[in-house]
Amino acid sequence: MIKIAPSILAADFSKLAEEVIEVEEAGASLIHIDVMDGHFVPNITMGPLVVEALRPVTKLPLDVHLMIENPDAYIEQFAKAGADYITVHVEACPHLHRTLQLIRSHGVKSGVVLNPHTPVETILHVLDEIDLVLFMTVNPGFGGQKFIHAVLPKVKQLSNIIKERNLPIEIEIDGGVDEETIIPCVEAGATILVAGSAIFGKQNRAEALREIKAAGEG
Ligand code: DX5
Ligand code: ZN
What's the pLDDT tens digit per position in 173-186? Answer: 999 999 999 999 99
Provide the CATH number for the domain around residue 142: 3.20.20.70
pLDDT value of position 23: 98
64: Cβ contacts below 8 Å, ≥ 6 apart = 33, 35, 51, 78, 83, 85, 86, 87
Check: complex ipTM more than 0.95? yes
Q: What is the mean pLDDT of residues 144-159?
A: 98
If one counts the domains in the chain, the total is 1
Contact assessment for residue 88 and residue 104, using Cβ atoms and an 8 Å cutoff: no
The pair phi, psi for residue 55, each rounded to 5°, is -55, -45
Domain interval for residue 122: 3-217
What's the pLDDT tens digit per position in 100-114? Answer: 999 999 999 999 999
- 153 band by pLDDT with thresholds 50, 70 and 90: very high
- 210 band by pLDDT with thresholds 50, 70 and 90: very high
- 216 band by pLDDT with thresholds 50, 70 and 90: very high
Among 197, 202, 205, 209, which residue has the most ligand 1 atoms within 8 Å of its CB, making it the best to mutate? 197
Q: Which atom of ligand 1 is nearest to the CA of 199?
A: 12
**pTM over cut 0.90:** yes
CA atoms within 13 A on the CB side of 133: 30
Rg of the chain taking only CA atoms, in angstroms: 16
Span from the CA of 143 to the centroid of ligand 2 (angstroms): 8
